[in-house]
Amino acid sequence: MYSLDRRLAFLSALDVVGPEHAYWVGRLTLCGSPEDIAAYDAVRREPDAKGTPWPVKRLPERSLFRATMPPEARAEEGDPGLAVRASAAEVLRHRDLATLSTVERAEAARLLAMTARVQAMRAGRRYTKSSRGIVDRRRTVRALLRGPDVLLRKERRPRPRRVVLLVDVSGSMSPYADALLRFAHALVRHRPRWTAVYALGTRLTPVTAALRTRDAETALRLAGQAIPDWRGGTRLADTVSRFVRGDGHRGAARRAIVVIFSDGWETGDPARLADAAAHLRRLAARVVWVSPHAGRPGFTPSAGGLAAVLPHVDALVAGHTVAALEELVRELEVRRA
């Protein structure tokens, strides 16, 4: 009745969970459709008084966050069925980075290192053969001389697009600065030629060279030594304007994706920050603003600096969890001309 591979899967699973779960093991490994379940139940012994073909024992919960699990999700005595719970990593992906313990921060750092695999691309100047795109007139004419009518096409060859990260390391952003710099380190290690990182505080500090170090802890220590205003004040208008008029004009921001990690708190005149953001938008291909508060219920961009720059950014996204930063990666990979 059952194929050899299904029977082997049944025996292997039974070895792991034990004979007390034999009914569910058989149902999960031997049955491939609803019709199989009816046939499977028919060949088993008659149901007991509770109507279950075999006595079912609930599998124990396995979660690193058992203490934070809601009461309705916990197993109770006599409750039949299998408990399906998200893995610890899945739960951690949606936890606020500012609330993690030391152990959880280490695991989050590992997830961030795997997340920062951005493949930001742009259309290059040279063309390559393609099944879509514009008609390649030269190749089409040559093909017509050799055989039947055919239209050959070409498209621009994709090239890597530069990504520039401006990370606010002021006091209001300190709960997230460490995780964001780890994200930046992983991105620099993944595409060193096409990524630049600057720290924003009371002054503008380039930290790309420090983040090129292979070891993450060493890289963050070197970056911290290079940043003189860590957890200090913030002058977003001055620092963004200094970047635009300096490295931005010299090529760092031209046709690049510029990502600003900041909550938008500005001690100076928000109008100056708006002017700097508008200038940056004219240079860059895209400007993405990442706020740790954007993903929270009831969020409105009411901070003076954030409200001022909103008309000049292409996207405002959250950045308070690993999952939110994964969404940011997908946002950066959207192809633009």
- Sign of the CA dihedral with 237 first, then 194, 321, and 312 last: positive
- Sign of the CA dihedral with 296 first, then 302, 306, and 310 last: positive
| Residue 8: domain span | 4-85
Distance CA 319, CA 322 (A): 8
Domain shared by 288 and 176, yes or no: yes
Q: Whose structure tokens read 């983040």? A: 211
Domain shared by 74 and 218, yes or no: no
Domain shared by 138 and 196, yes or no: no
Domain shared by 77 and 202, yes or no: no
Domain shared by 269 and 241, yes or no: yes
- The tens digit of pLDDT for each residue in 146-191 reads 777 778 787 777 788 899 999 999 988 988 999 999 999 999 999 9
Number of structural domains found in the chain = 3
Domain shared by 240 and 301, yes or no: yes
Domain assignment present for residue 174? The answer is yes
pLDDT at 82: 40
Q: Residues in the chain with pLDDT < 50? A: 46-86, 337
Q: Is 328 exposed, middle or buried (0-12, 13-18, 19+ CB in 10 A)?
A: buried
Q: Which residues pair with 134 in a beta bridge?
A: 154
